[in-house]
């Protein structure tokens, strides 16, 4: 246990990291490895900035929404300036939005933080959030139009869309893809980070094949839906959109916006969330929409249910079981599964952002595990710094360092000085 002076120093370091990664109006996740604006990273950055610079927090969200497509979709990467340290860049993606971008989205966390930041300072924030609200509404509507399955769950159409790139949930659906024609390409990620902590070539070939597929139809939602073999109904996207949609509704009501339709969409998403209950696993799970097969995975995404306002005793029992095996946060994959890899990206490591989404959800529903999730996250960061992710067994820092979202989660939630 550190004393308060040490925590003050960590707060200062977290603020320094946000400034370090600030490119003027937007924040990169970390220099080199990810030199662009990523969607959910940026929303977390806004949460971090809001702890000490309200104006800069709103600017972050405003810049993110400048990339919104005519369809309402908000891309997962905005390429404000070309940087050859990252692959695939804008030439491969061929996004069709107002600025160069990728062609897929990411979990819709922006409205969650828009509400939180607004409620922190309603007077000063009112005009800013009023301008953002219709854009967030259009993005959520696009999700309902193009990403729901028949049961109302939200689907991922590319492993990068859920933000949990190489999680075991995608193994079977990716195996069905023959990545013919992908050809030669040079990965950049493995020149920044140990390849043992990154997705495999098997995964990357299929990531790029799916990008090429989207680009081949100009990212036309209807055309792509008809030909894309990868469509998985997923707890990450579903629980997060459900939570964000509740926040969008509350925010819209507070601001006097036209909230017509949102309550009905919430009911659809609630049904969709329930459809992700795997009766054999006794937990929330991902479901391949093409084959109807369950992934059979207890993952950190399963534990996002509380954030979405859904309590479940059996999922809580899984959380207790999993947390008894680790010391540094919620593992991204079940540590008792043979597919668990404690240092490989989304196949085991603990991520501060998932811990935050899980922990704040547990707290909102008055669940006793909330403090434990926060304490684990605090321990990971205070012992091992602002890493991209952590080995949940040892706390070893992994992936990139001086990471924006880890700093933001520290400032907004994990630090003893945080108000959240």
Q: Cβ closer to ligand 2M8: 187 or 274?
A: 187
**Shortest reach from residue 254's CB to ligand 2M8, in Å:** 29
Distance set, CA 82 to CA 37, 41, 78, 101, 282 (Å): 11, 19, 10, 11, 46
Segment lying near ligand 2M8 (by CB under 6 A), choices 5-13, 32-40, 257-265, 320-328? 32-40
Q: How many residues bind ligand 2M8 (CB under 6 A)?
A: 10
47 binds ligand 2M8 (CB under 6 A): no
Segment lying near ligand 2M8 (by CB under 6 A), choices 37-45, 47-55, 313-321, 330-338? 37-45
- Would you call 334 helix, strand, or coil by DSSP? coil
Per the CB < 8 A criterion, the answer to whether 402 and 418 are in contact is: no
Among 35, 103, 163, 395, binds ligand 2M8 (CB under 6 A): 163
Segment lying near ligand 2M8 (by CB under 6 A), choices 157-165, 234-242, 257-265, 269-277? 157-165
Binding to ligand 2M8 (CB under 6 A) within 125-144 occurs at: none
**Concatenated DSSP letters of 46-83:** HHHHTTT-HHHHHHHHHHHHTT--TTS---SEE-SS--
* Backbone CA torsion sign across 55, 61, 67, 69: negative
Per-residue tokens: 305: 């249910």
**Tokens 């479940």, residue?**
312
34 binds ligand 2M8 (CB under 6 A): yes
CA atoms lying within 13 Å on the CB side of residue 173: 31
Residues ≥6 apart with Cβ < 8 Å to 408: 14, 18, 44, 45, 47, 48, 49
149 binds ligand 2M8 (CB under 6 A): no
Per-residue tokens: 358: 């899980």
40 binds ligand 2M8 (CB under 6 A): yes
165 binds ligand 2M8 (CB under 6 A): yes
Among 160, 239, 284, 303, binds ligand 2M8 (CB under 6 A): 160
Q: How far apart, in Å, do the first and last CA atoms of the chain sit? A: 20
- Would you call 134 helix, strand, or coil by DSSP? helix
**Shortest reach from residue 41's CB to ligand 2M8, in Å:** 5
Per the CB < 8 A criterion, the answer to whether 106 and 40 are in contact is: yes
Segment lying near ligand 2M8 (by CB under 6 A), choices 46-54, 159-167, 273-281, 289-297? 159-167
Strands 37-38 and 232-233: unpaired
Among 10, 17, 27, 29, binds ligand 2M8 (CB under 6 A): 29
**Shortest reach from residue 76's CB to ligand 2M8, in Å:** 6
38 binds ligand 2M8 (CB under 6 A): yes
Q: Cβ closer to ligand 2M8: 76 or 287?
A: 76
Give phi and psi for 221, each to the nearest 5. -55, -45
Catalytic residue annotation = 165, 388
Q: By CB under 6 A, name the binding residues for ligand 2M8.
A: 29, 34, 38, 40-41, 76, 160, 163, 165, 189
């Amino acid at each position: 246990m550190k004393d308060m002076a040490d925590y003050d120093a960590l707060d200062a370091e977290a603020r320094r990291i946000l400034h370090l990664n600030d490119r003027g109006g937007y924040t990169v996740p970390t220099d080199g490895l990810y030199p662009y604006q990523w969607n959910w990273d940026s929303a977390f950055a806004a949460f971090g900035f809001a702890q000490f610079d309200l104006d800069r927090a709103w600017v972050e969200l405003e810049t993110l929404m400048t990339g919104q497509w005519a369809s309402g979709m908000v891309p997962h990467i905005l390429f404000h300036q070309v940087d050859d340290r990252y692959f695939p860049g804008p030439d491969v993606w061929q996004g069709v939005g107002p600025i160069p971008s990728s062609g897929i989205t990411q979990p819709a966390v922006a409205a969650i933080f828009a509400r939180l930041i607004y409620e922190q300072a309603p007077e000063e924030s009112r005009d800013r959030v009023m301008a953002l609200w219709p854009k967030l509404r259009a993005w959520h509507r696009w999700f309902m139009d193009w990403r729901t399955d028949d049961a109302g769950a939200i689907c991922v159409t590319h492993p990068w869309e859920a933000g949990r790139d190489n999680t075991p949930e995608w193994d079977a659906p990716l195996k069905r893809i023959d990545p013919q024609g992908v050809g030669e390409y040079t990965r950049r990620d493995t020149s920044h980070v140990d390849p043992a902590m990154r997705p495999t070539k098997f995964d990357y070939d299929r990531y790029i094949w799916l990008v090429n597929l989207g680009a081949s139809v100009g990212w036309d939602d209807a055309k792509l839906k008809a030909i894309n073999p990868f469509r998985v109904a997923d707890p990450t996207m579903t629980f997060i959109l459900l939570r964000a949609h509740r926040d969008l509704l509350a925010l819209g009501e507070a601001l006097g916006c036209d909230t017509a339709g949102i309550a009905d969409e919430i009911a659809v998403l609630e049904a969709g969330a329930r459809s992700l209950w795997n009766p054999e696993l006794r937990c929330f799970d991902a479901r391949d929409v093409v084959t109807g097969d369950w992934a059979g995975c207890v993952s950190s995404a399963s534990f996002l249910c509380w954030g979405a306002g859904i309590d479940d005793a059996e999922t809580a029992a899984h959380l207790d079981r999993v947390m008894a095996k680790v010391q540094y946060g919620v593992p991204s994959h079940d540590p008792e599964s043979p597919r668990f890899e404690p240092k490989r990206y989304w196949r085991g490591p603990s991520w501060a952002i998932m811990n935050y989404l899980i922990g704040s959800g547990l707290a909102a529903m008055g669940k006793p595990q909330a403090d434990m999730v926060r304490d684990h996250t605090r321990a990971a960061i205070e012992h091992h710094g602002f890493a991209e992710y952590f080995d949940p067994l040892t706390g070893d820092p992994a992936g990139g360092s001086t990471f924006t979202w880890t700093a933001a989660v520290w400032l907004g939630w994990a630090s003893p000085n945080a108000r959240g």
